[in-house]
């Protein structure tokens, strides 16, 4: 199977499972990714998602050029024709947090997959690149937009215009990733963070993600007004009452997402 899906204590683990091909994305993997995001988004038991790759060498090296042919449909048909989603990142817009465990090479569309996640933790052997300009193309899955927003325009332009490769420590310096850990500890580290998130009130977690995502494109006064509105929406939820009761009773809260 080109993709594995496992639910573990509120955390959906999505694993790109083509280690023999450096976990490159072929058409079957793309379809299964879309299905995995829909499954996670629609399952109330899922509190957050972890995305990683099988094997020790690569998270994902982008599209499998040997198996990925140009679509038969025109670009207009794909955009307006109501066909099945073809964009690599379709479905990742969910409010549930997505954490990325980058276990090796993250190249091209593989790096763009990582950029579309909310948190990125890298193994010591991870390497990153958006090499499309070297191949007569451009990053087509958000790389030219997400990277500058994440690390700043100057550093992003250096990577985008040269197609240069950087290692995990440079990615950490640029704040492309939050942490760098030994390869053997990577998944445990990310699952530990995911478990902390999964224990929190799910409506609050999703609200925070949406506020951060949407607020980046708003003037500060509108973003603060939206935050105040969402605070009011959550104020009378059962989970907020449960959180206060649990604190008073010195016990772990039990949240239900309502």
Q: SS3 sequence, the chain?
A: CCEEEEEECCEEEEEECCHHHCCCECHHHHHHHHHHHHHHHHCCCCCEEEEEECCCCEEECCECCCCCCCCCCCHHHHHHCCCCCCCCCCCCCCCCCEEEEECCEEECHHHHHHHCCCEEEEECCCEEECCHHHHCCCCCCCHHHHHHHHHCHHHHHHHHHHCCCEEHHHHHHCCCCCEEECHHHHHHHHHHHHHHHHCCCHHHHHHHHHHHHHHCCCCHHHHHHHHHHHHHHHHCCHHHHHHHHHHHHCCCCCCCCC
Q: Which is the catalytic residue, given 73, 132, 227, 249?
A: 132
Altogether, the residues listed in the chain come to a count of: 258
Active site residue 124: no
CA neighbours closer than 13 Å in the CB half-sphere of residue 122: 27
Active site residue 132: yes
Q: Which is the catalytic residue, given 32, 73, 112, 242?
A: 112
| Cβ-Cβ contacts under 8 Å for 12 (sequence gap 6 or more) | 5, 6, 36, 39, 40, 43, 46, 48, 49, 50
* Distance of alpha carbon 119 from alpha carbon 105, whole angstroms: 17
Active centre residues (catalytic):
112, 132
């Amino acid at each position: 199977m080109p993709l594995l899906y496992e639910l573990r204590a509120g955390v959906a683990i999505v694993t790109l499972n083509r280690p023999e091909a450096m976990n490159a994305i072929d058409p079957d993997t793309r379809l299964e990714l879309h299905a995995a995001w829909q499954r996670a988004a629609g399952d109330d038991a899922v509190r957050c998602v972890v995305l990683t790759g099988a094997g020790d060498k690569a998270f994902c090296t982008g599209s499998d050029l040997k198996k990925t042919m140009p679509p038969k449909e025109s670009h207009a048909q794909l955009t307006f024709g109501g066909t099945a989603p073809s964009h690599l990142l379709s479905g990742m817009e969910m409010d549930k947090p997505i954490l990325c465990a980058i276990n090796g090479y993250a190249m091209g569309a593989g790096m763009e997959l990582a950029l579309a996640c909310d948190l990125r933790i890298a193994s010591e052997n991870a390497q990153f690149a958006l090499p499309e300009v070297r191949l007569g193309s451009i990053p087509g899955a958000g790389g030219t937009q997400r990277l500058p927003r994440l690390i700043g325009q100057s550093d992003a332009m250096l990577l985008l215009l040269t197609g240069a490769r950087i290692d995990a420590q440079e990615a950490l310096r640029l704040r492309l990733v939050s942490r760098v850990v030994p390869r053997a500890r990577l998944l445990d580290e990310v699952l530990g963070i995911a478990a902390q998130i999964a224990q929190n009130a799910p409506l609050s977690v999703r609200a925070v993600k949406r506020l951060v995502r949407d607020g980046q494109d708003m003037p500060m006064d509108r973003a603060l007004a939206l935050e105040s509105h969402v605070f009011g929406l959550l104020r009378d939820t059962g989970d907020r009452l449960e959180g206060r009761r649990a604190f008073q009773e010195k016990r772990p809260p039990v949240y239900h997402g309502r």
